[in-house]
Amino acid sequence: MKNWLMRLPFLVILAFFGNAKAQNFDTRLLQSINSQNTKYDKFWLGITNSATPVAIATPLSLFAMGHYHYIPKGKENSYMAAGGLALNTLITFGLKYTVSRERPFVNNAAIYKKTYAGPYSFPSGHTSTAFATATSLTLAYPKWYVAAPAYAWAGAVGYSRMHLGVHYPSDVLAGAIIGTLSSFVAFKVNQKLGK
């Protein structure tokens, strides 16, 4: 299992960078999502801007609710959520500066940049953060009424990054995988430490 997890980011990179057809598909899909139509831009900008505050509030809220005994294992789950976010951040920014993929709007005039974006595109940090948060919550409280809204929000964050023209679909896919796996690894480590 460990070897497969270590190879996954490299397989994603090869799948999307090693094949010109895949790159063209990536660009065409992004163009169909991102457009000049500004009707829903404020909504998607709000979704994008929710990623970091929600991610930070999640472990803090779990810790506080666990401390005051409002939810079972809140403190332990807050450590797991924080660990997942920390691992996610290390992997995401490590890949961003290793791969150094330019943003889609840099060399493609058909892509409309609708929000601020840093220098590198792969993987999507907002998406990885949202999926790390959703996965932590779902693993901590495995109920449909936790998982459904958590992953719906995480998926919306990923979509918003494409709508706003700052990420390719492959950036978003990689971010979703990295965020999910980061929280899963943190969950397993937390379980072993708990024993």
How is residue 130 written in tokens?
């949202």
**Higher-confidence residue: 152 or 5?**
152
- Residues 74 and 162: their CA atoms lie apart, in Å, by 34
How is residue 61 written in tokens?
């809220």
Q: Give the pLDDT confidence of 131-162 residue by residue, as tens digits.
A: 999 999 999 999 999 999 999 999 999 999 99
Q: Which pairs from 93-102 meet CB under 8 Å and 24+ separation?
A: 93/125, 95/9, 95/122, 95/123, 95/174, 95/178, 96/120, 96/121, 96/122, 96/123, 96/125, 99/13, 101/17, 101/168, 101/171
Does 2 have pLDDT greater than 70?
no
* pLDDT, averaged across the chain: 87
Per DSSP, the three-state class of 104 is coil
Amino acid at 140: A
Contact 92, 123 (CB under 8 A): yes
| pLDDT score for 24 | 83
**Higher-confidence residue: 170 or 190?**
170
Q: Lowest-confidence range among 26-35, 151-160, 164-173?
A: 26-35
Give the position of tokens 């999307």: 16
Average pLDDT over residues 48-71: 90
| DSSP, res 121 | -
pTM, two decimals, is 0.85
**Higher-confidence residue: 96 or 23?**
96
| pLDDT score for 5 | 53
Does 77 have pLDDT greater than 70?
yes
Give the position of tokens 């709000």: 46
| pLDDT score for 28 | 85
